[in-house]
Structure 1
Amino acid sequence: MATVPSSMNGRVILTAGFVFSLAFCSLTACSQEPGSVEFFESRIRPVLVEHCYKCHSSSSDDLGGSLLLDSSGGMISGGDSGPAIVQGDPKASLLISAIRYESSEMPPQGPLPAKVIADFEQWISAGAIDPRDQPLAIPQSKPAIDIEAGKQFWAFRPIEAPAIPIAIPSKQKTLATSASGEPNRFHSTPIDCFLDEKLEQAKIDANELASPEIRLRRLCFDLTGLPPGLELQKAWQHDPSPQHWNQIVDRLLSSTGFAEHWARHWMDLARYADSNGADFNATHHDAWRYRDYLVRSFADGRSIDEMIQQQIAGDLLPASSDSQRWDNLVATTFLMLGTKMLSERDKVKLEMDVVDEQIDTVGRAFLGLTLGCARCHDHKFDPVPMRDYYALAGIFRSTQTLNGESQLYVSTWNKTPLPTSDKHKKALADYTQKQRTLEDSLKQLDKELSALKERTTHRGLVIDDEAGKKTGLWKASKLFHTFVSKGYVHDNNADKGSLSIQFSVPLPKSGRYEIRLAGSPSSNRASQVPVTIKDASGDHELFVNQRTAAIDEIWNSLGEFQFDADQEAIVTIRNANTDGYVIVDAIQFLQVDATSESDGKPKPDPRIAQAVKQKSSEREQVQAKLAELKKNPPEPLPLAMAPRDRSSDAIADCPIHIRGETANLGDVVQRGFLQVCSGGTATIASPQGSGRLELADWLTDPDNPLVARVFVNRVWMHLMGEGIVRTVDNFGVQGERPSHPELLDFLASDFLRGGWQLKPLIRRIVTTQAYQRSSSMNSISSESDPENRLLWRVHRRRMPAEAIRDTMLVAANQLDRNPRYEPMKGMGTLVSNNNSDSNSEIGLLSQSCRTLYMPVVRGYVPALVTALDSADPDLLVGKRPTTNVPGQALVLINSPEIKQWSEATAKRICSNHSDFSARIEEAYRCCFQRMPTAEDREIATAFFAGHENSTSRWHAFIAAMFAATEFRLLD
């Protein structure tokens, strides 16, 4: 088999058969994995409390089946029927068969949602991690947690700037001599001093600096998510000095690419999505404004404390300009983006579920704490009593996130108008007035026309769907306008061929009758509804298109038929072989005038006919004016997904929900914050509205021991591969301890002193020797520190999914640098209403914008990005899981989009160069951002084997490079 490019140092070996070896084992996934305590506390325990504890807990009056579900031991030992769960085996677990309604049907009031059942199955498969060692007790009025003792834990101690260790001269690295003859020495930075001190104590030698090519590639991807351009590669190759490095750092930090890349990091925390997901996957038409707010903020150097304040309470902050007010409102979309069970009938429960999701998000994103674990009980591990949880809950419950219903039982969210110019407002007002005037004219003309037509036609007989003889299970509904009664029936687009409705109608006299069928039209209706009519001459079968209604927007005419007085008219509607919902509201029999002409048609009154003609002409003219007006509407009033404070009479402190149940309330808790992070009082004495303003101030108070530590640790993780605290979302007792606590506090204190600025923090990290080290393994150092906690080498890591896709677009010269502002523009209210192309993977991936600007549609995330471990938009993801499985290479090889990009790349390279060697060089610079080695050239020559101009071979060659491990890994 002929082989294609390989490189030294174990990077990658490519073959013509595209067989690739994997470099890494899977790393630990985020804390919301089914095998984590957080998963149990957020997904499992609340369901048990709400649906099971009443009959299966130690406090139950009548213990059902001798089964206790309020402790780990009770679930494993089981009841009369045996163990409720078998750890690791959901199929053998009686609990799963019960909630699936396959054996005993639990809970008795109705089955749980499919997503909840799936959570239980995943939890049991992962070993049924359950921290409950005893039944849950009703919380007492005083917390059992010792707050003062909790403050002694490292994460809750005040941030103090430590003394910087003395630089160790032997640790300073020297590069090649500069053009002036002076040595290019990298002097130890304060960060290097902290790291070198630990290495010296452990007697570990750090790696040398990586090659200039590797360092430049690492820097560009870490700062912008994009590869270095060819000119930059050449310039750095010519001058790899520390001074030039600093210049490149500053250039990248000021680029749009930097703002876009770091906005995506923040979006992982914000669980950003362009649709709601869950039971009612409604489209987030305005979420994109939040995405662009993040890009703007990072581009403009907005301080992190200001960003946090805006995202918690922007709608309550003062603004000196319309643009500032715009950003303040859009920023609060952060609180709105979580998935919500919008069709939940119990709106009090829905409200508290939203509050819980917001508390959990704020807690993990900014504080690095799993606050959701304190909803039903005091936190099992951290010094967070249940009262603290409900102190925060009072703030968020006094904040209105949901507002009314988009349709029956389905809640919708707040949409707040954004500032706009007076000119735009006037244009909208004028347009709205013209539209209203024309629509009112249409209504009046329709009313007059209807009255005229009434004078030419008898009303006839109207029979409601309730009078029909139904076969099968028809579903009653009131969602759309009906002609008579209070509703209609439909077949739920199911059981095709087994449902029918038959109307048997005795007519008052013989004659010819027009028959009409009522049913509200819609795009999801059936286009070929079979109807059988039995008249004097026999059976007549016809088909009705219910997607339109020709008469008064409700009726469809079935035609005219002859009936005898002694015969019942029989009309049968069926749903056999239909391609949508079949609707039945009513049928109508209209007798043709008794003084009809020989052909059976009524004799029209010429005066009425003339009036109808005139009014119809007027209506057509008005309709044409309205259609013309709608061709060029002004831009709609811009809206933001933004919360707001409830009305003053609805703002209130929140009672403790015993066991998390909305119907089992305890003491009311004054709104406030976490006691363990508060120097003084943790309550809000006189809240300004909901208390979000005070919460924003508390989070960004320099004395808060968590927020700055958590943030700088996230930045360190994105640049160094691992956080100083590896559990980036959990700084609590169950989280890992910092590998370099003094360094973490140095970075946090320096960050606070510098005004919460991100760019100086990044510049400080990437200009260190530690950041620029080689990732090469060293058996001696590895034996002493196998997990590289002391950072004697750089962690080799995979690029984010977005960077991998964007790099392919850059290689193909197809990346559109202009942002796509409205990814869901023109989309329906529900994702399912959108056309198939807009939802499809091909429709999403074929866009040439940066992946950041692609729509993130819950339930429709393309396989290409999910295979490469993109963030799950349903969850807050502080650290993306990193997997390396054969399926990733298969996706990279078989994706039609990647095939197109690889072909475009090959075509561009071949067009740029006729020389084979130059083509190989550009291919390597383009895909791996380095020059090919002698071995690479040798393998490439063998692969082409005299077919250097073969189009198919060049396509295969580039496709193999795209699928290579080196393409997606940073050394």
Structure 2
Amino acid sequence: MDFNRDVRPILAENCYACHGFDEAAREADLRLDTFAGAIGRDGGNAAIVPGKPDESELVARILTDDADLRMPPVDSGKRLTDAQQQTLRRWVEQGAAYETHWAFVPPQAHEPPPVEGISHPIDRFIQARLAGEGITPSQRANSETLIRRVSLDLTGLPPTPAQIDAFVTAAAADPEAAYRELVERLLASPHYGERWALWWLDQARYADSNGYSIDAPRQIWAYRDWVVDAFNQDMPFDTFTIEQLAGDLLPSATERQRIATGFHRNTQINQEGGIDREQFRVDSVFDRVATTGTVWLGLTIGCAQCHDHKFDPISQVEYYQMFAFLNNQDEPSMKVYGRDGDAGEAEGDAEPLTTTLVLKERAQPRKTHVLIKGDFTRPGAEVTPGTPAVLHPLERPAERTDEPLDRLDLARWIVSPRNPLTARVIVNRLWQQHFGRGLVEIENDFGLQGSSPSHPELLDWLALEFVRQGWSIKAMQRLIVSSHTYQQTSRLRPELDEQDPENYLLARQRRLRLDAEIIRDASLVASGLLSPKLGGPPVYPPIPEGVMGQGQVKRAWKASVGEDRYRRGLYTFKFRATPPPALSVFDAPDGFSTCTRRLRSNTPLQALTLMNDPAHVQFATALEKIIVRDGLETAFRRCTSRTPTEDELAVLTQLDPLSAARTLLNLDETITRE
């Protein structure tokens, strides 16, 4: 039996809440998350006699028919299956060996397994596993599908018919060279940064309003533009992290580095009358601790706010040590002058371009206490900044050893090559974006309650390669999209229905409904309306009447005119309480908390939005003109990146041009990445 693979998931799901790390919640003085606890060496009761299942109380209690003795208790709502019971019995019989949770062990170097005729390292890992299961990979997708897939994945924009034709012609002569050139063109596109900023802004819980019931507008789009630019420059992810968490603490911090600290200013701001401002300041710090833990460590650190974590080895004291790093900041607005100088210096007669929300370290540090049950009115023991003992130690450069710990130390600890989590977490989320699911399916919880990697050796290899490549996001995406695994067709294969119905082994690609903003962008491209302008203040595309009258505060929404009416979805103004319906109906996050994976629902409201939303009606009207001018086949290709069949054209020709345009923009194929 393999403890991490076979046993720990059973214990974590059914036992650790009452017999785990949280001492206050531990029952019967029994701890099952450690070997010493299970056999009674740490002073508790023994539940396991290694090698002797018939003498082990754990085995007796999970197998008994006596409802008063059976574990898990009947009133817990949990019940072990026969297979799970036998797994635990065999594990005890084999010696009850425990292992450190895989995610807390540094990534191990694995040589990609040899596969005849295959050189790409990702394909060697994937195809070796497939061969072991007697499965062959799918064939490479056709050229039209490939250019649409990789264009949408890397830039969030579909290819034009001219780009499709050029690629198909080049691929016919040399498919590998043509594809390499395509990928490099897309990675170099300024629209690459827009697409991947959207991915990061979900995690940053970005929105253009303060939240709570008043939900007043805020100005923080300079941070959004910083993210776009950072991705376009391929800023190393360790630098990207440090500047967002502690850019203001870097030596001679520049204006841009200060703007980057807007990451943690994306918390909500409560402007209601009569509130206790300290309560909501503390709530903001709670949010920052939880967000930092989820985004970079893939851990539910926030669960230790009120008590020791019930599953993961993170104590409440350690939670407040992390809290202390983020408890010593003021929250000013900063004038932005648009140059890479120190914003704190005299600016002379220069006029600021805008303002943005940033963090600034306080001259007089706040004291941090453990808050009893997470209540800000009940301070307990004082704590100083620190990190969880289960992870790597916090090390500092010699010149900083005499200074108090601060956010810069936390940021550097997070991106230390010794950290077993950060590189794994990020490459897993990159993989998730390109395949619809991460190698670790539960992408926001690498703790004991999470899922094990489907391909652990590949995950470790990717994590180490990420660091070796200088934390380059573009290098990792170039690696992923150049693999056959990525380029496979997504067509269903009947023989996989039995062997791998959910496609965990990756014998094919996966069809993915486009993100809400990308649906808008694809429609703008298809209709010829897209404004390619980058950056700047958020814009106001047309939305249905009455939407902004839904909240506690009635707000005006004056639709933008000119090219701002046709900007990418990334730039649409987003109120947290009343997000634009065309975005929320397609599962765009609301910005209240970090989002590390978007849901993909399928509802009738989505089809109605594509038909009737004011912006989409404009797209259809513009596409109608293309149909009249260039014909149905051209319009079809603009929407789907392929040539229609005769039967499809026959159906469309029975419609008037506007109805045909509305139909094309509403096709499943138009809003889906094959």
Q: Measure how far apart 1:429 and its partner are.
A: 6.3
Which of the two has greater helix per residue?
Answer: 2
Task: State the partner residue of 1:327.
Answer: 256
Q: Deviations over 1:425-458 (max 9, x none)?
A: 999867xxxxxxxxxxxxxxxxxxxxxxxxxxxx
1:272 to 206, 226, 234: 206
Matches for 1:669-708 after TM superposition, within 5 Å: 669-679=383-393, 688=403, 691-708=406-423
| Matches for 1:902-921 after TM superposition, within 5 Å | 902-911=620-629, 913=630, 919-921=631-633
Indicate the SS of the match to 1:966. coil
1:372 and 1:844 map into 2 onto residues whose CA distance is 45
Distance in 2 (CA, whole Å) between partners of 1:429 and 1:674 is: 46
Aligned to 1:454: none
2:226 aligned partner: 293
Query: Which residue is equivalent to 1:392?
Result: 322
Which of 924, 949, 956 is the equivalent residue of 2:636? 924
Other-structure match for 1:861: 579
Shift of 1:894: 1.3
1:779 is matched with which residue: 494, 507, 512? 494
Shift of 1:909: 3.2
What is the aligned partner in structure 2 of residue 120 from structure 1? none
Letter in 1 for 2:249: L
Aligned to 1:158: 106
Residues 539 and 567, structure 2, Cα contact 8 Å, conserved in 1: no
Match of 1:373?
A: 303
Task: State yes or no: 1:639 paired with 2:355.
Answer: yes
What is the CA–CA distance in structure 2 between the aligned matches of 1:932 and 1:714, rounded to whole Å? 35
Contact between 1:920 and 1:932, CA under 8 Å: does it hold in 2?
no
The aligned amino acid for 1:816 is S
Look up the SS of the partner of 1:666 in the other structure.
strand
Structure 1 counterpart of 2:385, which letter? R
Q: 1:835 deviation in Å?
A: 5.9
1:260 matched to 2:194: yes
SS of corresponding position for 2:390: helix
1:284 corresponds to 2:233: no
In the TM superposition, what whole-angstrom CA distance separates every residue of 1:827-870 from its partner, at most 9, and x where no partner exists? xxxx99896233x7x99998211111121222231111111111
Match of 1:817 among 525, 532, 535: 532
Q: Does 1:748 pair with 2:463?
A: yes
- Counterpart of 1:85 in structure 2 is none
**Partners of 2:77 and 2:245 in 1: CA distance:** 33
User: Aligned partners of 1:885, 1:380: CA distance in 2, in Å?
Assistant: 37
SS of the equivalent of 1:294 reads: helix
Equivalent of 1:229, from 160, 164, 168? 160
* 1:686 CA drift (Å): 5.5
Q: Which amino acid aligns with 2:460?
A: D
Q: What residue is the counterpart of 2:333 in the other structure? A: 415
Residues 362/425 of structure 1: CA separation in 2 closer, same or farther (3 Å cut): closer
CA shift for structure 1 position 637: 6.5
The CA deviation at 1:717 is 0.6
Going from structure 1 to structure 2, the CA distance change for 1:669 and 1:251 (only over 3 Å counts) comes to same
2:182 aligns with one of 248, 262, 266: 248
Q: Is the CA contact (8 Å cut-off) linking 2:107 and 2:460 kept in structure 1? A: yes
RMSD (Å) for aligned C-alpha atoms: 3.1
Query: 1:963 maps to which residue?
Result: 666
Shift of the alpha carbon at 1:417? 3.7
- Secondary structure at the counterpart of residue 209 of structure 2: coil
Query: Residue by residue, what CA displacement relative to the aligned partner does 1:634-661 show, whole Å, maximum 9, x if unpaired?
Result: 744643311111123x343x22111112
Find the counterpart in structure 1 of residue 282 from structure 2: 352
Q: Structure 1 residues 680 and 642, CA, compared in 2 at 3 Å: closer, same or farther?
A: closer
CA distance in 2, matches of 1:218, 1:902: 23
In the other structure, the counterpart of 1:309 is 242
Q: Distance in 2 between matches of 1:807 and 1:903?
A: 15
How far the C-alpha of 1:280 sits from its partner, in A, is 3.3
State the secondary structure of the residue aligned to 1:239: helix
Report the CA distance shift for 1:304/1:426 in structure 2 as closer, same or farther (over 3 A): closer
Separation in structure 2 between the aligned mates of residue 855 and residue 791 of structure 1, nearest angstrom: 38
Residue 188 of structure 1, CA deviation: 4.0
Shift of 1:666: 2.2
How far did 1:420 drift?
6.5
- 5+ unaligned residues in a row in structure 2: which ranges? 1-12, 18-75, 79-96, 541-550
Rounded to whole Å, the distance in 1 between the matches of 2:418 and 2:467 is 10
Distance (whole Å) between structure 2 residues aligned to residue 236 and residue 694 of structure 1 = 47
- Alignment partners' CA distance in 1, 2:134 and 2:623: 48
Do the aligned partners of 2:387 and 2:394 also contact (CA within 8 Å) in 1?
A: no
Gaps of 5+ in 1: 1-35, 41-128, 132-148, 170-186, 402-413, 431-633, 826-830, 914-918, 945-952
Matched positions, count: 568
> Given the alignment, which residue of 536, 541, 557 partners 1:837?
557
Contact kept, 8 Å, 1:277 with 1:340, in 2: the verdict is yes
Q: Distance in 1 between matches of 2:143 and 2:572?
A: 33
Which residue is equivalent to 1:597?
A: none
Q: How does 1:871-886 map to 2 (within 5 A)?
A: 871-886=589-604
CA shift, 1:782, in A, is 2.0
Q: TM-score, normalised by structure 2?
A: 0.79
- Cα distance in 1 between the residues matched to 2:404 and 2:258: 16
- Helix, strand or coil for the counterpart of 2:595? coil
Give the AA of the match of 1:217. Answer: R
Cα separation, 2, equivalents of 1:425 and 1:643: 13
Structure 1 residues 844, 647: closer, same or farther in 2, change over 3 A?
Answer: farther
Q: How does 1:42-121 map to 2 (within 5 A)?
A: none
CA contact (8 A) 1:845 1:862 kept: no
Q: Which residue of 2 aligns with 1:547?
A: none
Partner residue in 1 for 2:505:
790
User: Deviation digits for residues 334-360 of structure 1, max 9, x if unmatched?
Assistant: 011022334463233222211100001
Change in Cα spacing, 1:245 to 1:381, as seen in structure 2 (3 Å) is same
CA distance change for structure 1 residues 874 and 311 in 2, over 3 Å: closer, same or farther?
same
Are residue 849 (structure 1) and residue 563 (structure 2) matched?
Answer: no
CA drift of 1:940 comes to 3.1
Alignment TM-score, normalising by the size of structure 1: 0.55
Q: C-alpha distance in 2, partners of 1:386/1:726?
A: 27
CA distance in 1, matches of 2:337, 2:251: 14
Distance 1:845 1:201, change over 3 A: farther
Give the residue type in structure 2 aligned to 1:967.
T
Alignment partner, residue 888 of structure 1: 606
On the 8 A contact 1:700/1:707 being kept in 2, the answer is yes
Residue 768 of structure 1 aligns with an amino acid whose one-letter code is S
Distance 1:426 1:753 in 2: 38
